[in-house]
Amino acid sequence: MKVRITNVSSNACELTPKAIKHKSSGYEFYLFQSDAIISLPGGISEVKYGDCILYGENDLVEIKASGEPLECSLISYKSADCKKFLSDIDFEISKIYRPIQTYFVDSILVKVNKEYKSKDLHFDKALSIHIQEMLLKVSRFVRQDFVLSLPDHAQKLRELRTEVHENFPKRWTIENMSQIMGLSASRFASLYKQIFNISPTEDLIRTRIDQSKKMLSATKVSIKKVSAACGFESVHYFHRAFKKRIGLTPKHFQNKMLTNQGSVPVDQNKQSLDSMSLTSDFSGTLEIINGEIVFHGNDSDWSKFLGYSAEHLNDKPFMNLISDDDLDKAKGAVNSIVNGKNVFNVNLSLISKNGDSLPINFSAISRGNSIFWFVKSELVIIS
């Protein structure tokens, strides 16, 4: 059933005064991280670390610390239809519960607080889901046998992974993730790799890069802002991590995506050399020798792309690189260039030294006595 939630507040692992005494205005759920004495309708009871209790509306909440400062996690909320849900899962009000595991509570409280503060679309439904999840898990772990619960690492890791993916900008480390799991760093990393076929560090980096790709594809936001928003420790590290996995720098990827989406003007008559250079993967100059066009690349990446040495490419006619299927199209482009005309966005396939077909988007612009060429690789980018 759906439980409507309003007026939520929460905190995780908070130190409070030695005593709490008030009448609840709604439902209040406490998870204790220190020993305490509480008053219940049947008398005084002692609670230990890991115990929890849910107070109902207008219940007297009276808690006293047992020597140490009182430490507990709390969530309070109002709901007009929570009683039916509690009845369905046999969850009693003002009863001490001793679940064998409570690792999930604090992460759920953080989600609840975040949803309530942001009030994004459907936040009320998200709040309901989180709170019901918490109460269901408490109910489950109260009834679950401790011995049977021991091999629960896989489920706990899946929940932690979800938490990391949802909060990817956070400063996650192997150490704090392994502490959440209650495992050594080496044991945690080994189990994570075994279950998800990827290391926790690489998984986090890919999640951040996936998010950065979405941001870079949507707007001309600065690379520095994207880096910070996605949780990278520096722009330099973001640049290296992105290029290693995507094959392009963040700026190059952004320009490529925005151009493809029409966010960068593509008026062919007004194309500048700078704008073409920014939106291309490779560039250089052309030389016409005896009616043949020869590429001169301006960096080693072009040589690596085709598999030839730079010296070899300097003497290799452009038409000798074209696949048989695109010869007629390429001849038309060459004729235009020889006759002093600019060429824009011609889709061709080049043949690399090892025989691979390399789809490209080719442009050439004349400026004075020089001809500049630009190539966008149309190979599929695999993330």
pLDDT at residue 119, as a whole number: 84
Contacts of 363 (CB under 8 A, 6+ apart): 271, 276, 280, 342, 343, 344, 345, 346, 373, 374, 375
Q: Whole-number mean pLDDT of the chain? A: 81
- Answer whether 6-145 and 208-260 agree in fold: no
How does residue 208 score in pLDDT terms, banded at 50, 70 and 90? very high
Average pLDDT, integer, range 241-266 = 77
Q: 370 φ, ψ to 5°?
A: -110, 150
How does residue 15 score in pLDDT terms, banded at 50, 70 and 90? low
**Whole-angstrom Cα distance, residue 103 to residue 177?**
12
Q: Is 120 exposed, middle or buried (0-12, 13-18, 19+ CB in 10 A)?
A: exposed
How does residue 229 score in pLDDT terms, banded at 50, 70 and 90? very high
pLDDT above 90 for 174: yes
Among 7-11, 39-43, 336-340, name the one with the lowest average pLDDT: 7-11
DSSP code at position 317: B
How does residue 16 score in pLDDT terms, banded at 50, 70 and 90? low
- Per DSSP, helices labelled H in 119-267 are 123-143, 146-149, 153-166, 174-181, 185-196, 200-218, 223-229, 235-246, 250-260
Is residue 73 within 8 A of residue 31, CB to CB? The reply is yes
For residues 17 and 240, the model is more confident at 240
Average pLDDT, integer, range 93-117 = 85
Angle, CA of 56, 61 and 67, to the nearest 5°: 140
Contacts of 350 (CB under 8 A, 6+ apart): 306, 321, 322, 323, 357, 358, 360
- Best-predicted range by mean pLDDT among 225-239, 284-298, 338-352, 367-381? 225-239
When the candidates are 2.60.120.280, 3.40.50.2000, 1.10.1060.10, 1.10.287.370, the CATH number that belongs to 6-145 is 2.60.120.280
Contacts of 362 (CB under 8 A, 6+ apart): 333, 343, 345, 346, 347, 348, 373, 374, 375
Q: What is the pLDDT of residues 25-45, one digit of tens each?
A: 899 999 998 889 999 988 899
When the candidates are 3.30.70.360, 3.30.450.20, 3.40.50.880, 1.10.3720.10, the CATH number that belongs to 268-377 is 3.30.450.20
For residues 259 and 20, the model is more confident at 20
pLDDT above 80 for 301: no
CB atoms within 10 A of CB 347: 12
**Whole-angstrom Cα distance, residue 164 to residue 43?**
42
Residue 276, token pair as written in the block? 């073409």
| DSSP secondary structure, 121-144, as one string | TTHHHHHHHHHHHHHHHHHHHHHS
pLDDT above 60 for 340: yes
> Minimal CA–CA distance to 343: which of 367, 323, 373, 314?
373
> Minimal CA–CA distance to 373: which of 274, 308, 265, 297?
297
Percent of the chain with pLDDT over 90: 22
pLDDT at residue 257, as a whole number: 81
pLDDT above 90 for 206: yes
pLDDT above 70 for 346: yes
**C-alpha 279, offset from chain centre:** 25
Angle, CA of 277, 282 and 287, to the nearest 5°: 90
- Best-predicted range by mean pLDDT among 66-80, 175-189, 364-378? 175-189
pTM summary value: 0.46
Q: What is the pLDDT of residues 66-90, one digit of tens each?
A: 877 788 888 889 888 888 889 888 8
Average pLDDT, integer, range 155-175 = 88
Residue appearing with tokens 């085709």: 306
* All structural domains of the chain with their residue ranges: 6-145, 208-260, 268-377
CB atoms within 10 A of CB 369: 5
Return the CATH class of domain 208-260: mainly alpha
pLDDT at residue 221, as a whole number: 83
pLDDT above 60 for 367: yes
pLDDT above 60 for 204: yes
| DSSP secondary structure, 240-254, as one string | HHHHHHHSS-HHHHH
How does residue 148 score in pLDDT terms, banded at 50, 70 and 90? very low
pLDDT at residue 379, as a whole number: 57
Among 9-13, 96-100, 129-133, 369-373, name the one with the lowest average pLDDT: 9-13
Average pLDDT, integer, range 108-125 = 84
| DSSP secondary structure, 80-113, as one string | SSHHHHHHHTT--TT--B--S--HHHHHHHHHHH
For residues 279 and 363, the model is more confident at 363
